[in-house]
Amino acid sequence: MQHFDLVIIGAGSGNTLLTPFFDDWNVAIVERDTFGGTCLNRGCIPSKMFVYAADVAEIARQGPRLGVSTRFDGANWRAIRDRVFDRIDPIAASGEKYRLSLPNITVFKDTGRFVGHKQLAVGDEIITGDQFVIAAGSRNWSTISSPTQSNSRRRARFASGPSPIVRTIP
């Protein structure tokens, strides 16, 4: 059974905790999905990159009304989507690679589940720790099941874009 000074569950904000202060700590990071968590992979950053493309399209469309010779000729969803994920995927991958390269850090790519006092099952293994940080994020929850609750990360990567929402600036 491997023992750690510190076990961090979740490599979203959890991954940002590791300052040089922890350089001589034996640390485990348990992450079942992509390094960077919600903000990097499906929240803050991709949403703003999508919104920026939408803003540029809208500004181009509104130009003539303001006396500016611009025109909106359409949007290439695949190009918009690929620009977003071609930028963020390498950041997630390099974050994980960096942690894997550090001698005092062990990365477990699986779901962590408490099975006893300071004992965490990770895949087939049980690890123990002096201290734990639970940075596992949160989930939306509803008594009504809805198709819109599917994984937003998958939705963002769809091959076709969302239906256009046309808004008019007064």
Ligand X SMILES: Cc1cc2nc3c(=O)[nH]c(=O)nc-3n(C[C@H](O)[C@H](O)[C@H](O)COP(=O)(O)OP(=O)(O)OC[C@H]3O[C@@H](n4cnc5c(N)ncnc54)[C@H](O)[C@@H]3O)c2cc1C
Binding residues for ligand X (CB under 6 A): 9-14, 30-33, 37-39, 43-44, 47, 111-112, 135-137
Query: Tokens 């920026």 — which residue?
Result: 52
Output 13 or 26, the one with its CB closest to ligand X.
13
Output 65 or 113, the one with its CB closest to ligand X.
113
Distance CA 52, CA 65 (A): 21
Shortest distance, position 24 Cβ to ligand X, whole Å: 25
Shortest distance, position 68 Cβ to ligand X, whole Å: 29
Shortest distance, position 133 Cβ to ligand X, whole Å: 10
**b/e string for 90-120 if b means 16 or more Cβ within 10 A?**
eebeebbeebeeeeebbbbbeebeeeeeeeb
HSE-up (13 A, CA, CB side) for residue 102: 20
Find the largest Cα–Cα distance for the chain.
71
Output 27 or 135, the one with its CB closest to ligand X.
135
DSSP state of 160: S
Output 70 or 131, the one with its CB closest to ligand X.
131
Shortest distance, position 125 Cβ to ligand X, whole Å: 13
φ and ψ of 79, to 5 deg = -65, -40
